[in-house]
Amino acid sequence: MSSNCRSERSKHGGKRLVGALMSLCAGAFALASSGVAVAAGCGGPGAPAAGSPWVCVTAIAVPGKPLTSFDISWVNPTRSEYYLADRSNAAIDVVSTTTNGFIAQVGGFVGGVLNPATNTFITAKSGPDGVVAHGKWLYAGDGDSTLKIIDLTIGRIVQSVSTGGSTRVDEMALTTDGTLLLAANNAEDPPFATLFGVNGDNATNNIRIISKINVDPSLVPPGLGLSIEQPVWDPVSRRFYVAIPQINYPAGCTPSSTEESPEANVPCQGGLLAIDPSAVTTATYTFGAYDRSRNIGVLSLPTCGPNGAAVGPQTDAIGSNLLLGCTPANMPDNTGTLVINTNTMNFSTIGNITGSDEVWYNPGDGHYYTGSSANRADLGGPVLGIIDATSNILVSSIPSGGGSHSVAADPVRNFIYVPQVVPFNPNLSESQAPGSGGGDKTGNSKQICGSNNGCIAVYQFQRPFGTD
C-alpha cells in the first residue's frame, strides 16, 4: 500500500476507507471495513422454503457504489475466494468463501462507460466482464479490449494486454493446469476469441498471445450482431467448447437481433464451437463447420441458443457432459436447458428452466446452477435454477432478482453465490441507475439483500432430499 493510501486512512477513518482507497489506489486491494461486510437479508421468495435442501446463508453487501451492473463471477477453491466482475465500482470484488466476509476490491478497470445520448452503460465497452483464476493469478476482461492480469498475493493488476479489438474482452476459460486461456471478444463485428499462453503455477507473470480465433463468416457473418459467449475447458476431450448464441443456419434464417416479425421468419439455430488448442498452429486460425472425425468446429444446436456453458460429470470412458444455458433471447422458442456429451455429441433437453447467462457445475454437491435471469415468465421468471447433474433433472428453483445472471459455487463448503442488482425505483430513470435496466422489478432483490444497494446472495446445499 502506498504512502498516499496510509495518509488517507488517517484522515478519513475506517468507515470511509473503502471510498478513499478506491479513488486513490486504483489497481490495488481496497480493504472493506467490517461494518459493511454483511447485510441482513435472506427474506421473501428468495429465501428457500423451510425443509428445502438449500438455505439462504447470508447476503453480502458490496462497498462503494450500489450494485447496478455486474458480469461474470468465479470461485477459486485454492485460495478460498469468490470474485465478481463489478462494473458499478470498476473493480473485482473479492469475498472469502470460508467466512463469506468481504475481503477487498481490485480496481483499475474502465467501469461503466456511459452513452452520452442516453446516459446508460454501454455494456460492450464497460468492464470488468469475464473473470477466471488459477492459483494466485486472476484474469479479467475489460471494456477496452484488454485482458488484465492480477497477482492476488499483492492485490493489483500487473499487466494489461490488448486483444486488438475495440470492445470488451468478455467470458473466458482456463485449462486445468492454468497454462492456456481462451477469451471471447463477444461484441466485435464479427466476434473473435484469443488463445493465450498464461501463467499456470508460475511465480512470475509471463503471458503471450498464441492466436486469434475466428469463426467462418458463412456461420457467423459480419453485420448481423452475432456473438460468441462463455467458453469452458473439458479435460477429458482436451477441447475448449464455446457457446454461440446464434449461427447463420439454416440457410435463410433470421437472427433474433434483427427479427421484426418472429412468426414470419425462420429462426437461426444456436451453435457450439469445439477448439483443439493443439490444432491452432498459426497466428490467426478460422474454424468452420463441425468435423466429427477431429471433434473441432461449429456444431449446430437446433433446440438451444446458448449463452452459458459448464463442464459437468466426466469419465474417460464416456466423455464429459456439458450444460448449455439456452435462452429465448437467442431462440424465442427455447423452454429448456441443454446437456450435451463431448464424446458422442448426443444431447438432451432439461425442461422448465431457460434464460440462463452464466451456468456452473459444483462437484461438491453434484448440481448444476443456472443464472436464469431471463427465465420465461410462464416458468417462474428470474430464478436460480438447480439441476441434478446425474439425472439431468431440474430439482429446484429459487426466485431471484431481475438481472441475476451470474452464479458460481464453492465445491468445498457448497456455498452458491448469486449477485443481485439494486431494486427498481419508479422515481429513477435508467440514466440514474445506469446499466441495470432500472433495477430489479420483481421485488426479490430488496428482500434478499435487506437493502436497496444490491448484494451477493449466498445459498448452501446442506442435505440430500428425503433426509432429516
Residue 318: per-residue pLDDT:
79
Which residue, among 131, 58, 133, has the nearest Cα to 101 in the 3D structure? 58
Q: Give the list of residues 6+ apart from residue 122 with CB closer than 8 angstroms, or none.
A: 113, 114, 115, 143
Rounded Cα gap, residues 280 and 268, in angstroms: 28
CA distances to 132, 133, 144, 159, 430 from 138, in Å: 6, 4, 18, 11, 32
Residue 29: per-residue pLDDT:
53
Average pLDDT over residues 55-77: 95
Phi and psi torsions of 30, nearest 5°? -115, 115
Residue 391: per-residue pLDDT:
95
**Rg of the Cα trace of the chain?**
21
Residue 426: per-residue pLDDT:
66
42-46, 116-120, 279-283: range with lowest mean pLDDT: 116-120
Residue 209, C-alpha cell as written in the block: 498471445
Residue 4: per-residue pLDDT:
33
Which residue, among 141, 146, 142, 181, has the nearest Cα to 164 in the 3D structure? 146
Burial of 430 (0-12, 13-18, 19+ CB in 10 A): middle
Average pLDDT over residues 172-197: 98
Residue 424: per-residue pLDDT:
81
Neighbours of 116 (CB within 10 A): 7
Residue 466: per-residue pLDDT:
52
pLDDT exceeds 70 at position 429 = no
Which DSSP category does 397 fall into? E
Which residue, among 249, 273, 88, 316, has the nearest Cα to 171 in the 3D structure? 273
Report which of residues 431 and 175 the model is more confident about.
175
pLDDT exceeds 70 at position 468 = no
Residue 45, C-alpha cell as written in the block: 421468495
Residue 376: per-residue pLDDT:
93
Q: pLDDT band for position 252 (50/70/90)?
A: confident
Rounded Cα gap, residues 27 and 91, in angstroms: 8
Residues 51-68 as b/e (b if ≥16 CB within 10 A, e otherwise) read ebbbbbbbbbbbbbbbbb
Average pLDDT over residues 103-126: 86
Residue 73: per-residue pLDDT:
98
14-18, 419-423, 427-431: range with lowest mean pLDDT: 14-18
Report which of residues 317 and 274 the model is more confident about.
274
Helices 3-12 and 17-24: angle between axes, nearest 10 degrees: 150
Q: pLDDT band for position 296 (50/70/90)?
A: very high
CA distances to 119, 135, 215, 393, 448 from 455, in Å: 24, 26, 37, 29, 8
Q: pLDDT band for position 203 (50/70/90)?
A: very high
What percent of the chain clears pLDDT 70, i.e. is strictly above it? 85
Tell me the pLDDT tens digit for each residue of 44-59. 999 998 889 999 999 9
37-46, 363-372, 407-416: range with lowest mean pLDDT: 37-46
22-31, 186-195, 329-338, 360-369: range with lowest mean pLDDT: 22-31
pLDDT exceeds 70 at position 38 = no
Rounded Cα gap, residues 35 and 457, in angstroms: 18
Beta strands in 236-333 (DSSP E): 239-244, 270-275, 284-287, 297-301, 306-315, 319-326
pLDDT exceeds 50 at position 7 = no
Residue 145: per-residue pLDDT:
98
Which residue, among 140, 139, 217, 213, has the nearest Cα to 179 in the 3D structure? 139
Burial of 448 (0-12, 13-18, 19+ CB in 10 A): buried
Residue 50: per-residue pLDDT:
82
pLDDT exceeds 50 at position 182 = yes
Residue 121: per-residue pLDDT:
79
In contact, 86 and 62? CB cutoff 8 Å: yes
Report which of residues 198 and 468 the model is more confident about.
198
Mean pLDDT of the chain: 87
- Tally the residues of the chain: 468
In contact, 50 and 42? CB cutoff 8 Å: no
Residue 428: per-residue pLDDT:
56
Report which of residues 6 and 318 the model is more confident about.
318
In contact, 341 and 320? CB cutoff 8 Å: yes
Residue 16: per-residue pLDDT:
28
Rounded Cα gap, residues 460 and 398, in angstroms: 12
Average pLDDT over residues 237-249: 96
pTM: 0.89
